[in-house]
Structure 1
Amino acid sequence: MRNPGGPAEIIVHGKSGFNIDHYRGDQAAEILVDFFEKCKTDPSHWTNISEGGLKRIEEKYTWQIYSERLLILTGVYGFWKHVSNLDRRESRRYLEMFYALKYRKLAESVPLAVEE
């Protein structure tokens, strides 16, 4: 399930999850009821959706893929910095913007260590 304002490519509706508009509760309820009814009649339906989600993650959202994208962005940034000859303040603003847009949510999602 996802927020309709988020990236659409994360979930393929009905294959790796469900796109649910939290502003349309009736539609959300229908999607959930339909999902659970299908699971009741076909127990493999739950597994198919779960495996579809895991497959989507493996295809699009691994650390290997993120690191490759980051290396590409680093190259682009390096070239851009060289061409535009940014000063330190502008470089810092760019990096802060990049962090806020790309990595803040990812960093917030990492669970804190809990001592037992």
Structure 2
Amino acid sequence: MFGKPALYEAFGLTVVEAMTCGLPTFATCHGGPAEIIEHGVSGFHVDPYHPDQAAELMADFFEMCKKDSNHWDKISNAGVQRIYERYTWKIYAERLMTLAGVYGFWKYVSKLERRETRRYLEMFYFLKFRELAKSVPLADPVTIEQST
């Protein structure tokens, strides 16, 4: 069994790795694992803000394994299947190539030249980020010198 009760997990590579190894996986319901795991089918979502519920879910899983000797294998096999359906390097590479093609097509049809692109970015900087940059306090040289 693998547990990842993080408050938030951006993607969840360790979750994917655990499921690939066939470990029944309990992971946070916040972030990437919410998409990776099908709750109760290929693993389990736990809410890190409710540890009592997470503990009860794990205890129920082990109780079910005790009653049904195939329960562990059922969750394990569903986890492996989920990974091979959605998270293989082949699938990732195909998506990346599709995105590269879309970007290449956009670049071709937009006909933006480098100068036009630079002007657009400068305009965006002056309109949006210049004021934000002004609001960042400058470091006091005396304070920096004293801290070194």
Q: Which has the larger radius of gyration?
A: 2
Change (3 A) 1:86 1:44: farther
Aligned to 1:64: 90
Aligned to 2:50: 24
Q: Which amino acid aligns with 1:23?
A: Y
Name the structure with the higher helix share: 1
CA displacement at 1:86 relative to structure 2? 6.6
Segments of structure 1 that go 5 or more residues without pairing to the other structure are: 91-116
**Separation in 2 of the partners of 1:27 and 1:14?**
14
Q: Residue 2 of structure 1: SS of its match in structure 2? A: strand
CA displacement at 1:84 relative to structure 2? 5.8
Aligned to 1:12: 38
Q: Please tell me whether residue 3 in structure 1 is matched to residue 28 in structure 2.
A: yes
CA displacement at 1:79 relative to structure 2? 2.1
Segments of structure 2 that go 5 or more residues without pairing to the other structure are: 1-25, 122-148
**Separation in 2 of the partners of 1:48 and 1:84?**
53
CA displacement at 1:64 relative to structure 2? 1.0
**Separation in 2 of the partners of 1:48 and 1:61?**
19
**Separation in 2 of the partners of 1:84 and 1:38?**
61
Q: Please tell me whether residue 85 in structure 1 is matched to residue 112 in structure 2.
A: yes
Kindly report the root-mean-square deviation, in angstroms, between the aligned alpha carbons of the 2 structures: 2.0
**Separation in 2 of the partners of 1:41 and 1:2?**
23
Provide the aligned length of Structure 1 versus Structure 2: 90
TM-score, normalising length from structure 1? Answer: 0.69
TM-score, normalising length from structure 2? Answer: 0.55
Deviates more, 1:41-50 or 1:71-80: 71-80
